[in-house]
Amino acid sequence: MPPHDETSPVGPSGGPPRRPPAARAPGSGGARRPSGGTRGRTTSARDGGSRPGGSRPTGARPAGGAPGGKKARTKKQRRRRRLKVLLGLVVGMFVLLGVFVGVVYATTEVPDPSSVQNAQTTVVYYADGTTEMARLGDTNRTNVELAQVSEPARNAILAAENRNFYSDPGISFTGIVRAAWNNLTGGSTQGGSTITQQYVKNAFLSSEQTFSRKFQELFLAVKLDNEYSKDDILENYLNTIYFGRGAYGIEAAANTFFGVPAAQLTPQQGAVLAVLVRSPSSYDPENNPEGAQDRWGLVLDAMVEEGWMTQAERDASVYPPIAPRPESSALGIPTGPEGLVVSQAIDELEARGYSDEQIRAGGLRITTTVDKATQDAARASVLEVMEGEPANLRQALVAVDPRTGAVRAYYGGEIGAGEGAVDYAQTRRQPGSSMKPYVLATALDQGIGVNSRRDGSSPQEFPDREAPVRNSGGASCAACTLVEAMTRSLNTTFYGLAYEVGPENVRATALAATGMPETWPATTGGLLDDQPTLTAPNSGGVTGSSIGIGEYEMRPIDQAVGFATFANGGVRHNAHFVARVTDTTGAVLLESGADAGEQVLSADVANDTTFALEGVAQYSRRSLDGGREVAAKTGTQGIDADDNSDAWMVGYTPSLSTAVWMGSDRYEPIRNSDGAIIYGSGLPGAIWQQFMDTVLAGTPEEDLPNSPKIRGDTGEGVPAPVTTAPPTQSAPTTQSAPTTQPAPETTTPSAPTTTTPPTTTQPVPQPQPQPVPGDTDGDGVPDLGGQGPGNGDQGDGDGEQNGSPAPAPGQVAQPTG
């Protein structure tokens, strides 16, 4: 018997004879016999079973094969399969998208351009949302045919906005991608639109920056491009654009800016108008000559690149003269005091991203925070108190809700728009002793309580000042508490306290409480522009101890907000004028309620600062009706030892903070109709008192703190006097009325400090405002920082003298802001 293969069946098979298995290819899973043959697998035979008739012969199966003999897919095969599935899904999505786009395109209707409603009037309301304050958007529009627009002007518009207008499909794919990316990443949502898209947005859609609006814009633009000629679209576009100064359409713009019809526009004039398309207010040559001319040059360069102007013509181009802004350019802003409120609301919306065109011609409904009755009371208080007073006097009143930051009343002068309009609520003036609460708050934060005692004797010398500091009227108190020193407004106490706690810390407290910027913004070219706030100008940002007696400029609105922070437990809300914005259908576009607020001072510091201010109104004989509790501070800034230039009264209840300022356009003595010196407790105090009594009448009385929270003295206190000071020498407590006349308060010129040298700039005749002696900020205000002889605040009845260099009488002040 021949030897058996070890894999051969041992017993007889019940089926047909097995065929020898086919030889395996090299590398297959079978084992090779020594002779080179491949062994067959005989599992079924080994198990004693036989294959059913007709079944697949037991062939060689690769090692690791799938059950049942199915060959496993390789990684490459699996990857190909996944790619095919993914490709199928993508193709399916594109098919569905194509169907969707086709349906939307077919159902999109393009409005007839002749039915477009242009330039809807924007209405500004008082806080009740129904009483109108103003209607904006005096419209100047004359539609013309495209042939009536000079070809150079058309080319200038195309060069600036859409060079490929005549060849594009109505939309910009790169612009769409860029806009989508910006939306996803939180960047700007504007840019990249074609002229067709711009026309669709301006004529048929709102200006809100949303995906749905952009989606509509794309379909309308494509369909418009298919249904109308390029010339028709360009003609309608040129008649729709807002160019600023109330001019809608290129014909009105040509007349407004150059006094010629659109048919006579030169390439240079057309380029000026092309620049205005992007931002009419930002690039008005009268507002921004440098920026307007820079972009004008870029438009001409683009015209050269497109072959619409030769290089020689470009080189010979000169910026064309621009017509002065017409008197009607106020565009509906009231010329009365409320016009300043409207201007502030417009500025606020522009800061939030609204364009000039949206605001003036978008049919917006703007509800302000200003209450009609409160605003009327502010104006009436000013006019009634100032009746018969000298005509050179100027006033400002700002009232803020401490709990929200909403501006309830805003009086910056009688002229609200047009020639002679100056917003005195935004002017930078020295606050005098109304700065002292911030010094006290800084001391409180360092653990120096209001019952701590400091040397308030007069005069005193300090290491950082050459001239001695003096109190007004010879007032002196060798060991007054800080409450007494605040009520009597002792300069020596608060100059020394600022020196003790660090003037830079006082500055930080004031900036936190008021929300003032770190640097003054550039406005009208004054020397304060771009200078650090609450510092001596051109001193490298140095803040001296003279901050304690108010020698660095602030604005009335800053003081209203700063004192509101004390009233609100140390939580600051930024001042705002806009409460709500809706469109013509009533849909809310902006809801501008109170911001979250920021706890910039501790509640205990705010409590104790308020406690220290509760006796000032009574001491200054400006108590409110019915004995209503109120915290207040007077302030006066002097020109010299005899006369004052600025006077303040600032005070609050928990529900209303009001700042009143009085001065003049020129840095000259301010005196009343009797020829008497004006102090903070005088005419400004009378305005403040009448206003507060009027608007608070009938409202619940609100309690102020009746005791301090911060005890002790971590600083350089002095012991209490052994004997009680005579009644004529001591200040009344916050609970009792004074028994003597309050001492006057004024900031007068002082000698130069060691840190800020006096200026020697000579004044020049008006009308050009120039620096004055001691005035380094260019707005006519003596910038002290410890300059000048004699530190005395004689003027508002709180006994303060704050040193200030004397400007030349008659010097013009430069209102800023």
Residues recognised as catalytic: 161, 433
Angle formed at CA 785 by CA 491 and CA 642, multiple of 5 degrees:
55
Pairing of strands 407-411, 140-141: unpaired
Residue pair 577/344 in contact (Cβ under 8 Å)? The answer is: yes
Largest CA distance in the chain: 151
- The letter for the amino acid at 86 is L
- The DSSP result for 729-774, as a single string, is TSPPPTTS--SSPPPP-B------BSSSPPP-PPP--TTS----TT
Angle formed at CA 135 by CA 132 and CA 139, multiple of 5 degrees:
165
CA distances from 265 to 96, 165, 252, 325, 755 (A): 50, 21, 12, 19, 58
The dihedral over CA atoms of 402, 406, 408, 411, expressed in degrees to the nearest 10, equals: 100
Peptide bond into 52 cis (omega under 30): no
Pairing of strands 571-572, 598-599: antiparallel
Instruction: List residues bridging with 812 in a β-sheet.
Output: 666
Angle formed at CA 475 by CA 471 and CA 480, multiple of 5 degrees:
95
What are the respective helix, strand and coil percentages of the chain, to the nearest 5?
Answer: 35, 15, 50
Residue pair 399/690 in contact (Cβ under 8 Å)? The answer is: no
Residue pair 427/355 in contact (Cβ under 8 Å)? The answer is: no
CA-to-CA distance for 18 and 320, rounded, in angstroms? 107
CB neighbours of residue 371 within 10 Å: 21
Instruction: List residues bridging with 394 in a β-sheet.
Output: 663
